[in-house]
Structure 1
Amino acid sequence: MDRHELAGFLRSRRERIAPGDVGLPAGPRRRTPGLRREEVAQLAYISTEYYTRLEQARAPRPSGEVLAGVARALRLTDAERDHLHHLAGAPPAPPSGPSREVRQSILDLLQRLPQAAGMVLSATQEVLAWNDLAAALVADFSALSRPERNLLRWAFLEPHRGQRLLQVPADAETFAHSAARHLRAVAARYPDDPEVAALVGDLLSGSAEFARLWNAHEVRTEPALTKTITHPLIGPITVNCDVLDIADRDQQVVIYTAEPGTPAQEQLRLLSVIGTQRMDVPG
């Protein structure tokens, strides 16, 4: 525990927060910048005396509950929260399960790709976010339940396999093998997460193919640089497939683009107009 660094860090974070940011009145006689110590203590549900001793580098090592309360009261970012834990001599525990929260900047990025189909995948291959062209090219994810938005369930399980999809990848077997290996590594990173364990259990009990791949204990994955998607309205579309890792969230941004001047580029333009509408409704 680095008491002096911790004290300075707490003071700097406290002084940057205006009372109005946390719903407190500024008051006419406020002489200190930011919040008062007693206000932070109140927001963190700890005693003013103990918080004061933290800022004076005189307190014993705070517990995990105290650190969580202080981080919440000071509105720390993820990086600042981790720094707080390290200064207190209590490194933060790794997350128990994969993050499903997509940063706003990534959501904004998807919408700034009008000529590309983009989506965000969790560590367990759940589609967390997508843009309009991805919905038109791959599936109308808004019409699917959360389990149905998991690509591993698409690849291995009935009735999810092929159900309510707008496309069938020509390289489905390659994807299935890669996804199974990826999940093996994910399960090792999150051994205590019940959702990861439930997904693995469902796949093992529902797919002999997955069970065979799982028992091979392979974790090596090979990126697919191109993908051919058979769309029910447009036909086969061959697109480039680029995957960008979001390391701090253990997520991936998958972007499908077409080579300029190719038929695929015109097909994507047509899909951007058609959207998710279906042309197979009986007249």
Structure 2
Amino acid sequence: MDRRELAAFLRSRRERIAPAEAGLPAGPRRRTPGLRREEVAQLAFISAEYYTRLEQARAPRPSREVLSGLARALRLSDAERGHLHHLAGVPPAPASAPSREVRRSILDLLHRLPQAAAIVLSATYEVIAWNALAAALMEDFSALPRHDRNLARRAFLGPNLAGRRLYGVSEVAEFAASAARELRATAARYPDDPEVAALVAELRSGSEEFARLWDSHDVSVAPSLCKTFHHPLVGRVAVSCDVLDIADRDQRVVIYTPDPGSPSEEAMRLLSVIGTQRMDVPG
């Protein structure tokens, strides 16, 4: 543990964060640049006394839990998070569960795609971020509990009213096969994660199709380049489907874009105006 370097690093990261970035009022008498020590301690869920000792190079080695709290409170990047662990003499632990934390740059990217519907999927097919057009095309994910934002669960166990299984996607069988294969690989990467195990058990017990696909032991996945949605308000929407891997988070950005000048592009423009205000038709 390099106490002096750790102390200097913590001070430098604390002083660069404006209070507003952490959701804190600046206050009329704030003299310290960035956050106060007690504010960082509060955000990291540790005592102010212990954090002060860290910055004074007098504290004992912090645990991984403390370092995780500090990384969150100080809004550290992935590189900074790793550096923090190494200064503390506590190498980062390998991921034991799929990450649900989406980088700010990826969130910004979603909202800079006004003519495309885009979502971020975790390794378990949970929708963990989306833009407004994706909510209009698929579903208002903000109105759903986390349990219902999982596309694999939706594909195998969700409603199929009026033949609109999985938002009316024509290639739903292809998607289902791909999801089962991806989940088998995910289960191998995170063998000790209870959420992954529970999801697989739920799908196997509730869907004969998933059980059959799971028992095939296939893990190879062919890319799906096109999707066709059948939307209850604007009808058929054909889109290109591009998937960008975020390898360090084990996540994927899925981008749906219509061909320029096509009827589907017009449909997407209409959806951008309609938004989710009339999304009361079950999918």
* SS of alignment partner, residue 14 of structure 2: coil
* SS of alignment partner, residue 124 of structure 1: coil
Mark the CA change 1:216 to 1:10 in structure 2 (over 3 Å): closer, same or farther.
Answer: farther
1:117-132 to structure 2, matched below 5 A, reads 117-132=117-132
**Alpha carbons 1:180, 1:214 under 8 Å: kept:** yes
**Alpha carbons 2:136, 2:275 under 8 Å: kept:** yes
* SS of alignment partner, residue 237 of structure 1: strand
1:83, 1:227 → 2: CA distance? 42
What do the CA deviations read for 1:98-121 (whole angstroms, capped 9, x no partner)? Answer: 222333333332222221111121
CA deviation after TM superposition for structure 1 residue 196, in Å: 1.2
1:240 is matched with which residue?
240
2:198 is matched with which residue?
198
1:224-239 to structure 2, matched below 5 A, reads 224-239=224-239
1:279, 1:90 → 2: CA distance? 50
1:81 is matched with which residue?
81
What do the CA deviations read for 1:212-259 (whole angstroms, capped 9, x no partner)? Answer: 211222221122111111122332221101112223332222111111
CA deviation after TM superposition for structure 1 residue 178, in Å: 0.5
2:69, 2:135 → 1: CA distance? 40
Mark the CA change 1:45 to 1:149 in structure 2 (over 3 Å): closer, same or farther.
Answer: same
2:151 is matched with which residue?
151
1:185, 1:84 → 2: CA distance? 31
CA deviation after TM superposition for structure 1 residue 87, in Å: 4.0
**Alpha carbons 2:148, 2:154 under 8 Å: kept:** yes
1:36, 1:270 → 2: CA distance? 48
**Alpha carbons 1:229, 1:237 under 8 Å: kept:** yes
Mark the CA change 1:53 to 1:225 in structure 2 (over 3 Å): closer, same or farther.
Answer: same
CA deviation after TM superposition for structure 1 residue 67, in Å: 4.7
Mark the CA change 1:257 to 1:71 in structure 2 (over 3 Å): closer, same or farther.
Answer: closer
Aligned residues: 269
1:112, 1:24 → 2: CA distance? 30
CA deviation after TM superposition for structure 1 residue 198, in Å: 1.0
* SS of alignment partner, residue 254 of structure 1: strand
2:11 is matched with which residue?
14
Look up the equivalent residue of 1:273 and give its one-letter code.
Answer: V
2:36, 2:261 → 1: CA distance? 62
What do the CA deviations read for 1:54-94 (whole angstroms, capped 9, x no partner)? Answer: 6xxxx986654665576578x36153232232344432112
1:137 is matched with which residue?
137
Look up the equivalent residue of 2:4 and give its one-letter code.
Answer: A
2:160 maps to 1:162: yes
* SS of alignment partner, residue 17 of structure 1: helix
* SS of alignment partner, residue 160 of structure 2: coil
- Where structure 1 has 5 or more consecutive residues not aligned to the other structure, the ranges are none
**Alpha carbons 2:10, 2:55 under 8 Å: kept:** no
Mark the CA change 1:77 to 1:44 in structure 2 (over 3 Å): closer, same or farther.
Answer: farther
- Where structure 2 has 5 or more consecutive residues not aligned to the other structure, the ranges are none
1:113 is matched with which residue?
113
State the superposition RMSD in angstroms. Answer: 3.9
CA deviation after TM superposition for structure 1 residue 202, in Å: 0.2
**Alpha carbons 1:136, 1:272 under 8 Å: kept:** yes
Look up the equivalent residue of 1:10 and give its one-letter code.
Answer: A
**Alpha carbons 2:5, 2:87 under 8 Å: kept:** no
**Alpha carbons 1:190, 1:196 under 8 Å: kept:** yes
1:99 is matched with which residue?
99
**Alpha carbons 1:118, 1:254 under 8 Å: kept:** yes
Percent same amino acid among aligned pairs? 61
* SS of alignment partner, residue 169 of structure 1: coil
What do the CA deviations read for 1:100-146 (whole angstroms, capped 9, x no partner)? Answer: 23333333322222211111212111112222221222223234332
CA deviation after TM superposition for structure 1 residue 188, in Å: 1.8
**TM-score for both structures, normalised by structure 1:** 0.76
What do the CA deviations read for 1:167-219 (whole angstroms, capped 9, x no partner)? Answer: 31111010001111111111122222221111111001111211121122222
1:40, 1:104 → 2: CA distance? 20
CA deviation after TM superposition for structure 1 residue 14, in Å: 2.1
**Alpha carbons 1:167, 1:229 under 8 Å: kept:** yes
2:220 maps to 1:220: yes
**TM-score for both structures, normalised by structure 2:** 0.76
* SS of alignment partner, residue 135 of structure 1: helix
